[in-house]
Amino acid sequence: MSTNGKKGTVTWILAFLTFLAILNVFNAIIHLNSNSSMADLRIFNIALGSLNTEAYLWVSIIATFLLFGATSFSIYRGFPADPHMLQRLVKVEENLAFNANMIENTQIGFFRKLEENEKANDEFFRKITTSLEDVKKDASENSAKQQKAMQKIEEVNKKNAGTITKQTKELTNIKKKIENIAKETAQKAKLTSQTKLEKFKGVSPRLANKLNQIQIKTVSELLASDSASIAEKAFEPVETISRAQATAQLLMVPGVDEKHAQLLVKVGITSRRELANQDPVQLYRSIAGIARTYVEQGRMSARKAPTIEDVSSWIKQAQL
């Protein structure tokens, strides 16, 4: 092979390597824009290892300029000064200068963007810190207010402790009096199991007549039958039958009359067992307001309004 042929081959190899170096520059720029910290070095499909992206960029730029210089040197040394060739080399230099300028602008933009992100993060963390301080301050103020409120509550509790103790003693005495009254008082129930439905005021004459037609004539027969079955046969609402059964059970407790039974049903007491499981004071508090309303509406006389002694007596009688 001639000397010119060898020089031409070397020139084309250097030009090809320069082209590869330029491609690596663009590859490094792409990695920078994708915020990748490491880049894989490859020649075709052969992996040569990993390198920091910025270092990769600078190595590629330096390699590009070195190879370009070597290529230019080989061209100028190996070929005569051809005007067309010189024009091409000038264009190549212009392109390389343009690419270098673009790389520099890209790098400047990248670092500017990085700086803006750092400023934004600093501002974000500053706002978070300020918000946390405000929250901490509010929490401290609320804690102080709660402590003052707790102190006031403790003072009120101390003042009320004596009153509560006194009321407890009074309630104990009342319970004892109620128990004594219940022992001394022997009352009869308004209904018995053999009472005819015609004499049961909780059942209207029309309903009593319907019940008689389906062979339910006494209180015991009414209580022994299922409310839904009775309602279906008598063509009456289930609620009406259930209310009549509940009233009947309560009227079988000595001391409970029709008005009292209405009050008990009103507060949800629908059987003798439920009445037996009640606390006298709590039950009295539940029905006292309703009884007061009944008195104001004229549905009950004031002397018929139950007392706590009456309520306690009902519960005792229901437990027997």
Share of the chain above pLDDT 70, in %: 86
At residue 36, does pLDDT exceed 60? yes
Give the whole-angstrom CA distance, residue 210 versus residue 237.
Answer: 13
- Give the single-character DSSP code of 44: T
> Quick one: pLDDT at residue 109?
79
Q: Would the pLDDT of 93 be above 60? A: yes
Greatest extent of the chain over all pairs of C-alpha atoms, in Å: 143
Asked whether the predicted pLDDT for residue 80 surpasses 60, the reply is: no
Residue 241: name the closest of 258, 259, 266, 216 by CA: 216
Strand partners, 52: 38
Total-model pTM: 0.41
